[in-house]
Structure 1
Amino acid sequence: MSQDQLNAMVDLHGRFLGGRIGGRRAMLDNMDMRGLSLEGKDLKQANFTACLMNDMNLSYANFQEASLYACDLSNSNLFNTVFVRSDLRGARIENANLEGADLESADLRRGGMASAGDFSVNTKAVNFKGANLSGARLAGSMAANADFSDAMLVGADLSNSDMRGASLEGANLSNVNIEGVQLNGANIKSTIFTGVDVSVMRDVGMDLSDAITDDNVGVAVSDLSEPLQKLLERHYMWLESKGKDGEQLDLSSVDLRALGTLKQERLTAIKAIETKFFGLNLYQVQLQSAVLDGSDFRSCDLEAADLRGSSFKNANFSHANLKGANCIALMLGAGGTSRFNPCNFENSRFCYADFSGAQLKDAVFVGANLAYVDFTDADLRGADFTGAVLENTQLDHARTEGATFDRDPSRPVFKMKSDA
């Protein structure tokens, strides 16, 4: 098949999806499309059974509910491609780039993801970095040496799959089925295993010390000196009396996951260093002038949160929702004792976080990892991005007047679409 023939087929399929006259669903069986491009094309519900699709550019394409049964996608570019509820059974995707792809509820059973051979050999395997595989069926898949770092695999079926030597660093494997899975040599640093029976992993000597399981990480809420509500009441007294009465709330090293939500809670000026907020509903929470260095906010909902003037140095916000958050500076004190207090995210991690529409004027992102962060429509005037990782960071329509960016050409370049 030539590129022109493929383009004609895509046009007919587009007419089919739009219900227009002359449209025809793409039904391709055993076709050779190697080296062609479907970049950004909408191929929902199309059929590509047993097609040769090696070395193709399929980035940003939409294969929702499509059949790619027994396809060979090896070495193809599947960056940010949509495979929601698609049939990928028996598909070969070794050496493919699926970074940022959406495979929610996709069926990848008995798929080939890695080259045959010793799992300990550092071969180039499939890249699922940051991909959404929530609810995906991966039972029996060959995924040795695959890169699942920062991927979402919530509720996925990994039973009897071969994931030896795979990188699962920072991945979310909550409520996954790991029965019979092979994980020898896998990197599970900061991996999330909540809702998972990890006893088998412990039995084979896997080190879970850096992973997050159902066990408390630090102090449990139930082990606080007093009920949290009592501590909050004393904190409010401390705030209202400007420190004369009550006591500042200190939740440092406390695992707050059991709370589930602190939605719209007033937590102004608390201290919570290296605290686990992971997965909490923090919608419209008030966290102004707080010290939250080293805390874990991964997968938290912080939409419209008030974070003005707070310190988040070395914190982790991967996959967090920060849409519309207020992170501008505060002016503390009065007269000659006043000081300018910007929101400080120095050396923090924000991979795949959403800051769209957020207020971040004068924020400090020195040394922060902002790979794949969405800053669309955000106010970044005067922000400091010195030394920050800006790989595939989205800055569409963001205000960046006066912001400081590295000019080192060796650093990854952020992405900003023109208004044209």
Structure 2
Amino acid sequence: MQEKTRKKLPSDELERILSDHRQWLESKGTRGRRADLRCCDLSNRNLFGAVLKMAVLRDIDFSRANLRTANLEQVDLHGCRFHQAHLQWSILTGAKLLDNDLTQANLQFCDFSDTIISDANFDGAFFHNAYFGNAVLRKSNLTGTNLRFSTWSSSQLTQIKFTASTIQQADFSYASLREIDFRKAHIYNTDFTGSDLSVADFTSARLKNVNFQGTNLDPEYFQEAQWRDCTFDRI
């Protein structure tokens, strides 16, 4: 597939667009202008604390950009690239992510609540303390990710790969986890209470102090798994 041509913006133009967008938000559309940055190259740019709520941001390259504490609420991020981007403490509540590259992204303390995510690649990303409450994720790759202290309660996940990920003190309680690949994952001190684990595959996973009470586990998908001090209704 041919690489898309993206526009590079001078710093002063980008600052003006962000300033106009902030005015547009604060005035509820009576002043300023809604930011339209689609198909821009913002890689390696400093966007610390940028307010981009409801901006038009499709097909942007944010690779290695500094987006710490940025506000990306209710944004359509279809096709955006976040490879090795820094999104710590950013807000993505209600955003839509489709066909995104977030490989090796830094997503610590990000708020992904109520997001819709599909066909995204998070390979090697860091999710320490990330929050996915009520999020919907489909057909996405989280292989080799670090999910320490992340929250997924009441989220809906379908066909997600957590292969070889580190999942420690995470909360998956009452989540819908259908056709999830946990093979070779290291899962410690994690809560799956009341979750739907239909066809969730834990083959060769290592589990310690994991709560599976109230789940619908299938022993067939625990082949060669090692567990210690885990709580099951049955297995």
- TM-score (normalizing by structure 2): 0.82
Distance 1:203 1:18 in 2: 48
Q: Determine if contact 1:133/1:152 at 8 Å carries over to the other structure.
A: yes
Indicate yes or no: 2:58 matched with 1:49.
yes
* 2:86 is equivalent to residue 87 of structure 1: no
- Structure 1 stretches lacking a partner, 5+ long: 115-124, 216-254, 256-420
What SS does structure 2 have at the residue aligned with 1:6? helix
Which amino acid in structure 2 is aligned with residue 159 of structure 1? T
Number of the residue aligned with 2:225 = none
Residue of 59, 72, 77 corresponding to 2:86: 77
1:192-271 equivalences in 2 (<5 Å): 192-198=191-197, 200=199, 204=203, 206=205, 208-214=207-213
Deviation readout 1:225-259 (Å, 9 max, x if unpaired): xxxxxxxxxxxxxxxxxxxxxxxxxxxxxx9xxxx
Q: Could you tell me which amino acid in structure 2 is paired with residue 192 of structure 1?
A: D
RMSD: 2.0
Greater relative contact order (Cα < 8 A, sep 6+): 2
Match of 2:46 among 37, 45, 51: 37
Q: Secondary structure at the match of 1:7?
A: helix
Identity %: 22
1:136 alignment counterpart: 135
- Per the alignment, residue 184 of structure 2 pairs with 185
Cα distance, 1:157 vs structure 2: 2.0
In 2, the alpha carbon distance for the partners of 1:205 and 1:95 equals: 24
Superimposed CA distance per residue, residues 163-205 of structure 1 (whole angstroms, 9 cap, x where no aligned partner):
1011111110112222111110112111110112447558846
CA distance in 1, matches of 2:89, 2:19: 22
Matches within 5 A, 1:8-407: 8-19=16-27, 22-114=31-123, 125-198=124-197, 200=199, 204=203, 206=205, 208-214=207-213
User: 2:163 & 2:196 partners in 1: Cα distance?
Assistant: 19
What residue in structure 2 maps to residue 249 of structure 1? none
SS in 1 for 2:14: helix
Cα 1:7–1:141 change in 2 (3 A) is: same
CA distance in 2, matches of 1:87, 1:35: 23
Find the aligned partners of 1:168 and 1:78 in 2 and give their Cα distance.
Answer: 20
Greater strand content: 2
Q: 1:83 to 1:199 in 2, by over 3 A?
A: closer
- 1:22 Cα offset (Å): 3.9
Task: Tell me which amino acid in the other structure corresponds to 2:115.
Answer: A
Distance in 2 between residues matched to 1:41 and 1:110, nearest whole Å:
26
Contact 1:202 1:208 in 2 (8 A): no
Q: Do the aligned partners of residues 200 and 112 (structure 1) sit closer, same or farther apart at CA in structure 2, a change above 3 Å counting?
A: closer
Describe the shift of the 1:162–1:8 C-alpha distance in structure 2 as closer, same or farther (beyond 3 A).
same
| Letter paired with 1:16 | W
Cα distance, 1:138 vs structure 2: 1.6
String of CA shifts for 1:362-397, please: whole Å, max 9, x gaps.
xxxxxxxxxxxxxxxxxxxxxxxxxxxxxxxxxxxx
What residue identity is the alignment partner of 2:137?
L
- How far the C-alpha of 1:112 sits from its partner, in A, is 1.0
Q: 1:32 to 1:213 in 2, by over 3 A?
A: same
Runs of 4+ in 1 over 3 A off after TM superposition: 197-209
Alignment length (residue pairs): 206
1:214–1:48 distance in 2 versus 1, CA, 3 Å: same
1:125-144 CA distance string (max 9 Å, x none): 11111011111122111110
Partner Cα distance (2:114, 2:135) in 1? 4
Any conservation in 1 of the 2:158–2:179 contact (CA below 8 Å)?
A: yes
Indicate the larger mover: 15-24 or 85-94. Answer: 15-24
Tell me the residue number matched to 2:15: 7
Give, in whole Å, the separation in 2 of the partners of 1:68 and 1:36: 17
